[in-house]
Structure 1
Amino acid sequence: MPFYFMLKGKKIILGITGSIAAYKSAVIVRLLIKAGAEVKVIMTPPATSFIAPLTLSTLSKNDVLFELSENDTWSNHVMLGRWADIMLMAPLTCNTLSSMASGACDNLLMAVYLSATCPVVAAPAMDEDMWLHPSTQKNIATIKSYHNEVIPVNSGELASGLTGQGRMAEPEEIVAWLEEWFKKKVQLTGKKILVSAGPTYEAMDPVRFIGNHSSGKMGIALAEECRSRGADVTLVLGPTVEKVPAGMTVKRVVSASEMYDACTSIFPSVDIAIMCAAVADYTPVTVAPEKIKKSGETLTLELKKTADILKRLGELKKEGQFVAGFALETTNEKEHALKKLQQKNADMIVLNSLKDAGAGFGHDTNKITIFDKQGNEHHFDTRPKSEIAADIINTLINVAHA
């Protein structure tokens, strides 16, 4: 058996629900304990029909819990939810998945899940028709939107006797997934990272501005991904209503000039800069001191170029620093992205095309191609921006170490 170095000393809650795949949970517990983890098992009452709590308590060396109270003693779900480094739901049934998506709380496991301050990962187990049902897939998407992770199901022989998708990942696969997850948590420890996100608003007068449709979702997802891997993150954020996760320094700005000043002042102290913001290319030459009144059939505005933040960071870049930029294009996408990579002295450019459905401003999903200085192209199909953020950071780490 391989030794999972990252699991040593980790505190793990294993939630077991009423599936025939519950028999595999004993192997999961055994592997985690052998890796040096501390495991507490919580079961739904139906799960106890599939595997005996005694078996799991013997393997985990901890009492197995499945009732909110027992012998006049309350199972403190709040403290359980705060105790763990990660909560693993394996197997996750269709019923408990639905409860996770809706927030229903009718057993101890769900009470702990809703109280958990740690990350949660689920390993679904169900028959193929149940797995592929639109309501199940919607619930999977919903719990992912809550920042829960989902370990992909396998294809194979199912309890129904059929063969297809829905089989829970094998215990060894699940434990290996946890090992990789904990590795990622420390990949960027000690690194200082600057991320820019959102639009800029260029004032015409005290009321009106020139802006764009950027929501800041992609940049915020990147900042959160970096933070989750142990980095010290500073997020320079333009005007947006999007919520920013805790655990990072946020510098809010409005105009391109403010974003330029913030990024160039912070950059010398960081290891990595990811310029994801949609910065205005032009700004009004003069800003009217009072609201411009409607008069005449036309209004002429004189605009001037804004300072190029990415280019300036490329000029300031010292040995050991890494600069990544974004390119949102509508024509000749690859040509323009490669030109930007070279002219801005960036190490990596992330290309979006507004021609791709589900990509670009305002969407919860994105589709990207990454170009690096070594001449490589990395393509990623349409996925949630949180997953695209992980793809970008994985690529950045690989390119930086190439």
Structure 2
Amino acid sequence: MKKVILIITGSIAAPKALELYNLLKQSYEVTVLVTPSAKKFVRFPENIKVHDDFLDQEFYQREDKINHIEFAYSHDLIVVYPATMTFISKAALAICDNLPLATFFASKANKIIFPAMNHNMYHNQAMQRNLALLAQDASVSVTQPDYGLLATRISGDGRLKEPDVAFKMIQEFIKESTELTNKTVLINYGATRSYLDDMRYLTNNSSGKMGQALAQAFLAKNAKVIAVVGDVSIPLIKDPNLTIIRANTNQTVFAGMNKYFAQADIVVCVAALNDYQIAEQWKGKISKSQNETLKLNLIANLDVLASLGAQKTKQLLIGFSAQDSQDAIIAKEKMIKKNCDGIVMNNISVMNQEQTEVEFYFKNNSYQFKGSKIEVAKEIVQILSKNLVK
């Protein structure tokens, strides 16, 4: 049985959480955590054990204290219902001053958030910025509140989703978050090098952000992820289900991919590989005083995606293609030539940026996605996981 943490915050809509609790209890083991203000709005029946300890000195001196780490490590999902502006803002800004927030931060479990607040508060720029910050975590799903009658007796966005609707969303979220259980994803990202001499090389300004966002989105669906990573400008994530292999040339990237290709269910080639390599690498370091000018002879480099496509059997194989314009004809030609199931085309202008815009050509369909790289990654992974489990 799945274990769910239900976090209830101090909102006039908080009493609805009791109905959601009763629905969840029918299918899951539920632990209730409440913020200090939640008890001002909800009278909890005796059969519901509520945890609300402050993380202060008095808390640590108590013998019956509950460790937030125990909660964080022993549950499969965290539900925040309702999620107030205060809770969302603290969660986005890493302010940890109560047990629910401490558990929220300590847990690697997937999280689903149900906002509830006044229309103007919901649409406040600071609120939208904080919601966007939370959405940057691949394990967090922020739902849209309903439009309807609010506590102020006016209608607008910000009404908490009804318990039965939230329950169905939670059920679907749990199902989706385990779609890739026992599946292996092989992915590459980052830039590669083509050496001129033992010190200098040709490369590009790929940051690795899109590839790592995809890796996080796959991990959020409980996949085992093997990442072959080139040069990146971002800190690499760590996860028990993630194996990282470092490689910095097309040849070493292919070697890493080829080693695990047969066992992979999904293969995604995001790395910005060098299309060309220097025909002959100098030994040592080229002397500037002895070479006022240099003429470089560039030859075609190893095509990793095509090489993997040539041996593809059961795998879903997806490639990325950075272009200065997005062209469906080019994408479809690549899919045929390289024997892959899909091509994601992005513009070279988004390299090393936080936002992106892509055209995803997958089998006989095409999709357009625009937003942060983690948001776009979630959309791509959702399509691939749905296709794989059919």
Query: TM-score w.r.t. structure 2 length?
Result: 0.90
Distance in 1, matches of 2:273 and 2:194, equals: 10
Tell me the SS of whatever aligns to 2:25: helix
Q: Are 2:266 and 1:277 equivalent residues in the alignment?
A: no
Distance in 2, matches of 1:347 and 1:113, equals: 38
Deviation at 1:253, TM superposition (A): 0.2
Could you say if the C-alpha distance between residues 105 and 236 of structure 1 is closer, same or farther in structure 2, counting changes exceeding 3 Å?
Answer: closer
Deviation at 1:83, TM superposition (A): 2.6
Q: Is the 8 A contact 1:365 1:385 kept in 2?
A: yes
Aligned to 2:74: 83
Aligned to 1:388: 376
Distance in 1, matches of 2:129 and 2:337, equals: 43
Could you say if the C-alpha distance between residues 192 and 146 of structure 1 is closer, same or farther in structure 2, counting changes exceeding 3 Å?
Answer: closer
Could you say if the C-alpha distance between residues 315 and 73 of structure 1 is closer, same or farther in structure 2, counting changes exceeding 3 Å?
Answer: closer
Distance in 2, matches of 1:152 and 1:362, equals: 29
Tell me the SS of whatever aligns to 1:19: coil
Deviation at 1:231, TM superposition (A): 2.5
Q: Are 2:143 and 1:157 equivalent residues in the alignment?
A: no
Aligned pairs for 1:30-45 within 5 A: 30-34=22-26, 36-45=27-36
RCO comparison, higher one (Cα < 8 Å, 6+): 2
Deviation at 1:316, TM superposition (A): 0.9
Aligned to 1:4: none
| AA of the residue aligned to 1:86 | L
Q: Are 2:44 and 1:49 equivalent residues in the alignment?
A: no
Distance in 1, matches of 2:64 and 2:385, equals: 49
Could you say if the C-alpha distance between residues 265 and 44 of structure 1 is closer, same or farther in structure 2, counting changes exceeding 3 Å?
Answer: closer
Q: Is the 8 A contact 1:101 1:143 kept in 2?
A: yes
**Cα distance per residue 1:55-76 (max 9 Å; x no partner):** xx53xxx411223359863233
1:328 to 322, 339, 345: 322
Gaps in structure 2 of 5+ consecutive residues: none
Aligned to 1:97: 88
Aligned to 1:369: 359
Aligned pairs for 1:174-193 within 5 A: 174-193=166-185
Aligned pairs for 1:161-310 within 5 A: 161-242=153-234, 243-246=236-239, 247-295=241-289, 298-310=293-305
Kindly report the root-mean-square deviation, in angstroms, between the aligned alpha carbons of the 2 structures.
2.2
Q: Is the 8 A contact 1:236 1:250 kept in 2?
A: yes
| AA of the residue aligned to 2:171 | E
Query: Which runs of structure 1 show a deviation greater than 4 angstroms over 4 or more consecutive aligned residues?
Result: 69-72, 398-402
Query: TM-score w.r.t. structure 1 length?
Result: 0.88
| AA of the residue aligned to 1:366 | T
Deviation at 1:282, TM superposition (A): 0.4
Distance in 1, matches of 2:387 and 2:44, equals: 47
Aligned to 1:140: 131
Q: Are 2:380 and 1:350 equivalent residues in the alignment?
A: no
| AA of the residue aligned to 2:340 | A
**Cα distance per residue 1:31-56 (max 9 Å; x no partner):** 1012x2111212122211211122xx
Distance in 2, matches of 1:219 and 1:156, equals: 39
Could you say if the C-alpha distance between residues 101 and 193 of structure 1 is closer, same or farther in structure 2, counting changes exceeding 3 Å?
Answer: closer
Deviation at 1:202, TM superposition (A): 1.3
Deviates more, 1:133-142 or 1:256-265: 256-265
Deviates more, 1:185-194 or 1:149-158: 185-194
Could you say if the C-alpha distance between residues 45 and 264 of structure 1 is closer, same or farther in structure 2, counting changes exceeding 3 Å?
Answer: closer
Distance in 2, matches of 1:138 and 1:198, equals: 28
Tell me the SS of whatever aligns to 2:15: helix
| AA of the residue aligned to 2:187 | V
Distance in 2, matches of 1:71 and 1:255, equals: 56
Deviation at 1:334, TM superposition (A): 1.9
Q: Are 2:3 and 1:15 equivalent residues in the alignment?
A: no
Distance in 1, matches of 2:101 and 2:202, equals: 47
Distance in 1, matches of 2:389 and 2:67, equals: 45
Aligned to 2:367: 378
**Cα distance per residue 1:281-334 (max 9 Å; x no partner):** 00111222222233566432111111111111121112x222111111113622
Distance in 1, matches of 2:185 and 2:73, equals: 28
Could you say if the C-alpha distance between residues 115 and 225 of structure 1 is closer, same or farther in structure 2, counting changes exceeding 3 Å?
Answer: closer
